[in-house]
Amino acid sequence: MIPELGHFSLIVALCLAMVLGVLPILGAARNNAVLMGVARPVAYGQLLFVGLSFAALAYAFLNNDFSVLYVAQHSNSQLPAIYRFSAIWGGHEGSLLLWALFLSVWTAAVALFSRHLPEEMVARVLGVMGLIAVGFMLFMLFTSSPFERLLPAAADGRDLNPLLQDPGLVIHPPMLYMGYVGFSVAYAFAISALLGGKLDATWARWSRPWTTVAWVFMTLGIALGSGWAYYELGWGGWWFWDPVENASFMPWLLGTALIHSLAVTEKRGAFKSWTVLLAIAAFSLSLLGTFLVRSGVLTSVHSFAADPKRGIFILTFLVLVVGASLLLFAWRAPKVGLGGKFDLISRESLLLSNNVLLSVASASVFIGTLYPLFMDALGYGKLSVGAPYFEAVFVPLMIPMVLLMGLGPLARWKKMEVPELAKRVQWGFASALVLALLLPLLMGKFLMLEANKWSPMIVVGLLMAFWIIASLVISLRQRWAGQGAFMARVRKQSRSYYGMQLAHLGVAFFIIGVTLVKGYETERDVRMNVGDTVMAGGYEFKFNGVTETEGPNYVAGMGHVVVSQDGKRVGELNPEKRQYNVSGMPLTEAAIQTGLFRDLYVSLGEAIPESEGAWAVRVYIKPFVDWIWAGCLLMGLGGLFAVSDRRYRIHKQAVKQGQPS
């Protein structure tokens, strides 16, 4: 009964979304306050019914209702409760329901926090989001309902893929989806600005916090996914340029460009058309990401099942969204105008270059990801584009991008003389360069490596990171200089300024992590008998054999590896080789000892037959690898800081004071 109620709620939600997608937009066009007023209550209603539907599915999962096909496919009575809950998004249908739920959450949030916006604007934004919801709910009800019954009911479920039974995977998909779906708000703002023909600095100020919040979710979501791959897939990599990773990375790159171009539109009224185009493109790539992941056209960790009907539906939806938006853009954009003028060397032009580079980087990832699909569709045979392609294209694009990133915050709006800018940064750049050249020579001692290693890539990487930090220091010194109380001047700077610098510092951390882990990691695959030792990166790993152990729904062999350094014990690592009871699927669970400057990483390969307890063992030393995720976390925090800036709230208070009620 409960699943049917869930299904029914979804149908009701679809009807509400249809109302939301039509009436308020009509109302805005005819200036009819009644029709526009429909938007808010309907948005709340949609959230209520999608929420009920989601709760119904959660109920089915938590109560092991294996008469529901989707539950039987993705859960099992032995599964711990937390994973039974996260199994909701362990497959295609439930993921879509989560998508729809988040879309409704964002829609309701816009309805709630938009009291200070003109009614027309709210009506249009909510209307556009309603239309997107219609697309997704139709998709779900026609091709992939999670509420379909299985008759007769299964005695027990097929279990959740063991790879997904992990705390990281409980939060990674929701975070990422919040980001994906969040870009729909930026998109809806852009479309409603085109519809209304009014696109100005105020519009940019309204859409900025929404875009930034979506970007924060996306940043954290991608970082979580990368961290999960690092410890769960057992090969110690943190980014594989896997098509599905790319699918989330493309909208992230464009979202980053969008945040920066919105800043220009707000402060200087420039780049208007470009900003709108970016908002459309970022959301389209989010949809494309959903299509790529869910249609099964790509071979990837994430493609669990393929159904051509679904692929065609999403593709049609994608073409409709992109086509309609671009038509609207072509029709309306000339009205929008180009906005303020600026000089060749100015903060605007630096931000424009940043935008161009980010978009080109996104396009190059796009080409690498979709090239095999096109070639296959055109009948040129199957092929794959490897990680070296992405590195060869991406790194050269990011180097100028980071150089400009250091200059941007120091340059003035509108016009800046080159000599003045050069004078501001010369010492910063020089010290970054000296440090980058010298540090690799000392690194050997610092990281306890066998030898010092100096390579151009390491120097370039470190230079980039130190350059960002130098620029940050210069900027802070400028802002904090002056007369009077120091703390007062520190407090005088806006939160969005600190947020920006924090996010940039995050990029520096990220680059340090990537550079050092790429430059100095040690990876050894060895056969180890009980009692054998192996040296890696100055550490000694002693293998004390494998013992049997048992988890809630698996049995495992647990390895005992004692790590010591210069005769001193550092700790014991216990990697596991699990065998899940229901699916019979094996899983390698790596053991990691994290540290500020290095991770020790051990995972079990396989038992070697005809030996006395010998195993193939992977032993890795990963210097500074955690800085990668620390960097992402800082970027996310920076974004949150920027959103908490006062100027996004001042306007609201002013309006409230103006209203007598």
Q: Is 567 left (phi over 0), alpha (psi -120 to 50) or beta?
A: left
Does position 308 interact with other proteins (CB under 8 A)? The reply is: no
92 and 296 Cβ atoms separated by less than 8 Å: no
Report DSSP state, residue 579. Answer: E
Closer of 208 and 272 to other proteins (Cβ): 272
The token pair that represents 340 in the structure block? 């303020």
Stretch that binds other proteins, among 174-182, 264-272, 355-363, 537-545 (CB under 8 A): 355-363
Mention every residue, 6+ apart, whose C-beta is less than 8 A from residue 434: none
Q: How far is CA 524 from its chain centroid?
A: 31
CA distances from 520 to 37, 233, 440, 461, 624 (A): 61, 21, 10, 13, 9
Least distance (Å) between residue 526 CB and other proteins: 7
Does position 396 interact with other proteins (CB under 8 A)? The reply is: yes
Closest CA to 192 of 27, 363, 376, 400: 27
Stretch that binds other proteins, among 46-54, 118-126, 327-335, 364-372 (CB under 8 A): 364-372
Does position 299 interact with other proteins (CB under 8 A)? The reply is: yes
Residue in 236, 368, 506, 537 binding other proteins, rule: CB under 8 A: 368
Mask of contacts with other proteins, 558-597, x by CB under 8 A?
A: -------------------------xxxxxx---------
Report d(CA 454, CA 437) in Å as an integer.
9
Least distance (Å) between residue 304 CB and other proteins: 6
Structure-derived torsion over alpha carbons of residues 139, 141, 147, 149, reported in degrees to the nearest 10: -110
Does position 197 interact with other proteins (CB under 8 A)? The reply is: no
Mention every residue, 6+ apart, whose C-beta is less than 8 A from residue 119: 28, 33, 36, 37
Residue in 8, 371, 454, 497 binding other proteins, rule: CB under 8 A: 371
Does position 415 interact with other proteins (CB under 8 A)? The reply is: no
Closer of 5 and 608 to other proteins (Cβ): 608
User: What is the residue-wise DSSP string for 594-653?
Assistant: --SSEEEEEEEEEEPTTSSS-EEEEEEEEETTHHHHHHHHHHHHHHHHHHT-THHHHHHH
> Residue written as tokens 């290693």?
453
Residue in 152, 197, 379, 381 binding other proteins, rule: CB under 8 A: 381
Closer of 344 and 378 to other proteins (Cβ): 344
Least distance (Å) between residue 341 CB and other proteins: 8
Closer of 388 and 567 to other proteins (Cβ): 388
> Residue written as tokens 């010998």?
614
User: What is the residue-wise DSSP string for 301-329?
Assistant: TT-----HHHHHHHHHHHHHHHHHHHHHH
Does position 525 interact with other proteins (CB under 8 A)? The reply is: yes
Stretch that binds other proteins, among 38-46, 119-127, 357-365, 495-503 (CB under 8 A): 357-365
Residue in 34, 197, 378, 382 binding other proteins, rule: CB under 8 A: 382
> Residue written as tokens 């931000």?
351
Q: Report the amino acid identity of residue 201.
A: A
Least distance (Å) between residue 500 CB and other proteins: 24
Does position 344 interact with other proteins (CB under 8 A)? The reply is: yes
CA distances from 91 to 248, 369, 406 (A): 17, 22, 42
Least distance (Å) between residue 325 CB and other proteins: 23
Residue in 2, 58, 449, 526 binding other proteins, rule: CB under 8 A: 526
551 and 78 Cβ atoms separated by less than 8 Å: no
> Residue written as tokens 């920006």?
500
Residues of this chain, 125-164, that bind other proteins according to CB under 8 A: 161, 163
Does position 59 interact with other proteins (CB under 8 A)? The reply is: no
Least distance (Å) between residue 510 CB and other proteins: 22
Does position 12 interact with other proteins (CB under 8 A)? The reply is: no
Asked if the peptide bond before residue 162 counts as cis, ω within 30 degrees of 0, the response is no
Between helix 92-112 and helix 167-196 the angle, nearest 10°, is 50
Site size toward other proteins (CB under 8 A) is 46
Does position 392 interact with other proteins (CB under 8 A)? The reply is: yes
Does position 345 interact with other proteins (CB under 8 A)? The reply is: no
Stretch that binds other proteins, among 128-136, 145-153, 502-510, 519-527 (CB under 8 A): 519-527
Residues that bind other proteins (CB under 8 A): 161, 163, 234, 299, 301, 304, 341, 344, 356-357, 360, 363-364, 367-368, 371, 381-386, 388-390, 392-393, 396-397, 525-527, 583-588, 605-606, 608-609, 611, 614, 616, 618
